[in-house]
Structure 1
Amino acid sequence: MDPRYEERGIRVKSICMTYNKTTSSKTALTESGVDLHLELKGSGLRVGLTEALREAVRSGRLTPGTRLPSSRTLAQDLGVARSTVTECYSTLVEEGWLTARHGSGTQVAERAQPLRKPAPAPQPRQSKPTHGLGPGAADYADFPRTAWLGAARRAFAAAPHSAFGYGDALGRMELREALSNYLSRVRGVYADPGRIVICSGYHHGLGVMARALKEQGTNTVAVEAYGLSIYRDLLSDAGMRTPPIEVDEGGALTIELDTLPPAAALSLTPAHQFPSGYALSTERRSTVIDWARRTGGILLEDDYDGEFRYDRKPVGALQGLDPDHVVYFGTASKSIAPALRLSWMVVPERLMPAVTRAKGRVDTVSVLDQLIFTEFLTSGAFDRHVRSRRHSYRQRREDLLHAISMQTEDVKLIGMAAGLQAVLTLPTGTESWMLQAAARQGLTVSGLSEFRHPQADGPGLWSDGLVVNFSAVSDSAWSSALQSLMRVLP
């Protein structure tokens, strides 16, 4: 090894060189360039540096057009003679790896393309659906960009310096206080700020609650016989049994609660059952509360779209009847956008210690987004946005209902006037080929059977159906999507 390596302690044969990629205006190298790791190879500094730069170009880490430091600057950075760098540059220019022009410095040659892996064999192109009417999506073109940016400017201007550090694991207190007022006013939820926990989406919150319940000795979380499999799988992964509770026009069939073990939990969507669209009846609301009090059970209330009721004012949340036995879940995913990853839980006081431990010691939700949403909520922008969407979605549901009535008597839209999707019941045995016909029309819709619990007995009250998300396309595309859907129906 060259003794100069020993003097500089370069036993790992690696150095870092500072460089700056050129821009369209070919700006000069600045002191604040980015770092590039080079591994020196060979028996001397010149040979090692030459091979390291050659490999950096060959591998693509130095891209064509990148401007290198001057020979004087690089020599000073490496602590070597300038002639060593000059000879290295000259060699690479002669080989075609670099170019050198007076006044332009030394750059990676445009023709020096990095080695690339062989391109994969072309795959048959899949036709992209024209209209996506599957559940879970919304009209993202309707995101309130201007109002959100305004809230961001105001929130950042008012934020204390401490807000830019690590946040409270349970969420910013400003947001928890704002949600306390909002949920009490709009959903009838008893929500002390100290019992509100901010989460990164409903999936995250449900996972936290599952771990907390497991710690308390709960091994069973009953679920509605129709619902999203991703949440059943999450509970199963947490070690929970998930027996199904049947669903009909009155919501979850509460008579089946007597089959559950003591201290079990029940997950349900009482304001608007997903995906059937029915609300839990008044009698059954009382029944599930009585069951929880009698057995010590916990009710997990998923209020995923409680803001969107079209025929009258929404029924208040179940949590308001008994805050000590109901965990209330809310989310911004349906009302604003899932990309925010903002949701909240209102937790019974007796579960707060276990939930706090399950949540962890560091906040998992962007503090900055929490501050923005707080401002968006308290300024009234959220209420205005929800009212605007409510008007749009009400009209779309009416369009869908009218189109079906004009098209066929064999298909019925079930459920109440609420939410972002609707179930269209079909003649028995037709769901599969209806889905195929929809695909041929460029439509993405889901079959009702997709949401049926695999352990549920029989096909359920509704054997065949389509779940149509009328909120998933833009206003300009809705008419075309509706026409395509009508061509599918019998």
Structure 2
Amino acid sequence: MTESRTNLAWGALLDLPATGAKHERLTRALRAAVRSGRLPTGSALPPSRVLAADLGCSRWVVTQAYAQLVAEGYLDARVGSATRVRWSPDAEPMQPDAGRPPTSPTRFDLTPGLPDLRAFPRSRWGEALRDQTRRVPFTDLGFPVPGGHSDLRRALADHLHRCRGVVADTDDVVVSTGVTDGAARMFRALRAEGIARVAVEDPGWTRLHHVAREAGLSVVPVPVDEHGLRVEELDRDPSVRAVLSTPAHQFPTGVTLTAGRRAALVEWARRVDGVVLEDDYDSEFRYDHRPLSAVQGMCPQRVVLLGSVSKTLSPALGIGWVVAPPRWCQVLRTSGTARSGPPVLDQLAFARLLRTGGYERHLRSVRRRYRARRAALLAALRRRLPACRVTGTAAGLHLVAHLGADVDAADVVTAAAARGLRLVDLRTYQVDRREPANYLVLGYGNLADGAIDDAVAVLAAAVADQSARDRPEVVSDRLST
């Protein structure tokens, strides 16, 4: 198939789903076209600028979709050549789950979101699980109690009080399967109370934005600067009485909400009779000094704290929590079902780790590991990409890299994917994408220490090949520090 034939047939080949973010919809449509054989192996896809013009979307949408499909093995992107289909529907028998993408050929993964899975405390967890299996009363072997086992809720209340300055007792803690589950319950509770609009940080964790919309809420983006959420912007919309924020370590910018804005956020919630949803995102990992206390401790009546073990132990455990005022707790418990919480034995095993100090010993161990890994990544960036500027607090499992005014981050993502390196552009997490983005969000939590320099070498090669062309040299100062 010649490239001209591909372009002529493009309108008939693509069937974009009606829901989802634009780049996700385009990715699904292209994947389906490849798997069905409508885009044959070896056929050339249009240049990203051409397809973006045809679809009436930004070029970023197309480059993100191409990069994802290159990483999944459906497309092949080579410097100086067209992006072509590499996967054939005849390469494997069609199975009931044939829509699942093949194993990624990724060599290095610098996307954020995962802790070091190699560091999972297998022995401690296994010991705790065996101990609780021997000791658990048979009455606890039925369906999980909605809201969580009292042993875990009690242990969490004590741990969060000591380590995060949270003001709560056992009855104020609701066990969930993670932050997403806890946020979804809160969003539904807010909607039932007549609150129809929730403010969110922009950029922010877009998955929770989708969850808010699924609960029937309208999402109102509020910008973030070097001091965190711009709290004064909340007053621009009087109908907003709820806000989702990550004060300890904002995702993805990596900044910390300043003391003045923390106080302003609490004052705003009191003044409008509102509620703050505090996502305690990777708050346990601070490398310049001790972790800051939670905003919840400043106003337990107005702040709902969301947390989980996804960034400290493993997302596979599916254990999270919500610390909420009494007015919300009963609603949060009944909004789940007997089958919606973590397994009872896992709850009891985690409670044992909290009681015996095993969890805090694990945190101290991985905190040292992440501090050293972050330092090694910064050193590699200084050596191989001296023009790159890193912003954000010395904390967490990711950092933000500003590539420079003449580098298009979306192009770098695509070029890196062709070399076996997974990256993510900051614009992935933006609601307002009018500004050009020259930023990458680099996650190092699950990156092997020995792979840091090689991964940055691949990144440097991708940056060298992808200087932005035909674009005005505009630099966003949203992340400047």
Q: Same fold (TM over 0.5)?
A: yes
Query: What is the CA-CA distance between 1:388 and the residue it aligns to?
Result: 1.1
- Are the aligned partners of 1:310 and 1:394 in contact in 2 as well (CA < 8 Å)? yes
1:255-280 per-position Cα deviation (integer Å, ceiling 9, x unaligned)? 10102334610001000010000001
Query: What is the CA-CA distance between 1:120 and the residue it aligns to?
Result: 3.6
The amino acid that maps onto 1:232 is H
Query: Where does residue 56 of structure 1 map in the other structure?
Result: none
| Structure 1 CA distance for aligned equivalents of residues 175 and 392 of structure 2 | 31
1:445-476 per-position Cα deviation (integer Å, ceiling 9, x unaligned)? 100111111xx37328xx32111111122334
Cα distance change, pair 125–368 in 1 and its aligned pair in 2 (3 A)? closer
Query: Where does residue 440 of structure 2 map in the other structure?
Result: 466
Show the 5 A alignment for 1:271-420: 271-360=248-337, 364-420=341-397
Query: Where does residue 209 of structure 1 map in the other structure?
Result: 186
Decide which moves more: 229-238 or 288-297. Answer: 229-238
Question: Of the candidates 456, 462, 476, which is equivalent to residue 488 of structure 1?
Answer: 462
Show the 5 A alignment for 1:91-170: 119-120=93-94, 128-170=105-147
1:449 aligns with 2:427: yes
Query: Where does residue 439 of structure 1 map in the other structure?
Result: 417
> Does the residue aligned with 2:160 lie in a helix, a strand or coil?
helix
The amino acid that maps onto 2:451 is A
Cα distance change, pair 471–361 in 1 and its aligned pair in 2 (3 A)? closer
| Structure 2 CA distance for aligned equivalents of residues 219 and 120 of structure 1 | 45
The amino acid that maps onto 1:329 is L
1:477 aligns with 2:458: no
- Are the aligned partners of 1:134 and 1:472 in contact in 2 as well (CA < 8 Å)? no
- Are the aligned partners of 2:377 and 2:452 in contact in 1 as well (CA < 8 Å)? no
| Structure 2 CA distance for aligned equivalents of residues 133 and 397 of structure 1 | 12
1:171-197 per-position Cα deviation (integer Å, ceiling 9, x unaligned)? 000001100110011111112110100
- TM-score in terms of structure 1 length: 0.72
Cα distance change, pair 177–244 in 1 and its aligned pair in 2 (3 A)? same
> Does the residue aligned with 1:433 lie in a helix, a strand or coil?
helix
- Are the aligned partners of 2:185 and 2:332 in contact in 1 as well (CA < 8 Å)? yes
Decide which moves more: 334-343 or 440-449. Answer: 440-449
The amino acid that maps onto 1:274 is F
Cα distance change, pair 334–125 in 1 and its aligned pair in 2 (3 A)? closer
Query: What is the CA-CA distance between 1:489 and the residue it aligns to?
Result: 4.0
| Structure 1 CA distance for aligned equivalents of residues 463 and 376 of structure 2 | 15
Query: What is the CA-CA distance between 1:198 and the residue it aligns to?
Result: 0.2
Cα distance change, pair 171–340 in 1 and its aligned pair in 2 (3 A)? same
The amino acid that maps onto 1:340 is L
Cα distance change, pair 438–363 in 1 and its aligned pair in 2 (3 A)? closer
The amino acid that maps onto 2:445 is S
- Are the aligned partners of 1:263 and 1:296 in contact in 2 as well (CA < 8 Å)? no
- TM-score in terms of structure 2 length: 0.73
1:403-453 per-position Cα deviation (integer Å, ceiling 9, x unaligned)? 222233421111010000111012235212211231133110100111111
Show the 5 A alignment for 1:144-293: 144-262=121-239, 264-293=241-270
| Structure 2 CA distance for aligned equivalents of residues 277 and 143 of structure 1 | 24
> Does the residue aligned with 1:401 lie in a helix, a strand or coil?
helix
Decide which moves more: 264-273 or 132-141. Answer: 132-141
1:152-208 per-position Cα deviation (integer Å, ceiling 9, x unaligned)? 122222222211112220100000110011001111111211010000111111111
| Structure 1 CA distance for aligned equivalents of residues 382 and 104 of structure 2 | 31
Structure 2, unpaired ranges of 5+: 1-91, 465-481
1:425 aligns with 2:399: no
Query: What is the CA-CA distance between 1:479 and the residue it aligns to?
Result: 4.1
> Does the residue aligned with 1:345 lie in a helix, a strand or coil?
strand
| Structure 2 CA distance for aligned equivalents of residues 127 and 370 of structure 1 | 33
Decide which moves more: 264-273 or 400-409. Answer: 400-409
| Structure 2 CA distance for aligned equivalents of residues 360 and 127 of structure 1 | 35
Superposition RMSD in Å: 2.2
- Are the aligned partners of 1:170 and 1:363 in contact in 2 as well (CA < 8 Å)? no
- Are the aligned partners of 2:152 and 2:351 in contact in 1 as well (CA < 8 Å)? yes
How many residues align? The count is 369
Cα distance change, pair 362–450 in 1 and its aligned pair in 2 (3 A)? closer
> Does the residue aligned with 1:388 lie in a helix, a strand or coil?
helix
Decide which moves more: 230-239 or 328-337. Answer: 230-239
- Are the aligned partners of 1:268 and 1:299 in contact in 2 as well (CA < 8 Å)? yes
Cα distance change, pair 477–241 in 1 and its aligned pair in 2 (3 A)? same
- Are the aligned partners of 1:134 and 1:468 in contact in 2 as well (CA < 8 Å)? yes
| Structure 2 CA distance for aligned equivalents of residues 161 and 475 of structure 1 | 44
Cα distance change, pair 125–389 in 1 and its aligned pair in 2 (3 A)? closer
| Structure 1 CA distance for aligned equivalents of residues 382 and 173 of structure 2 | 44
- Are the aligned partners of 2:253 and 2:399 in contact in 1 as well (CA < 8 Å)? yes
Query: What is the CA-CA distance between 1:484 and the residue it aligns to?
Result: 2.8
1:385-411 per-position Cα deviation (integer Å, ceiling 9, x unaligned)? 111111111111111212222233421
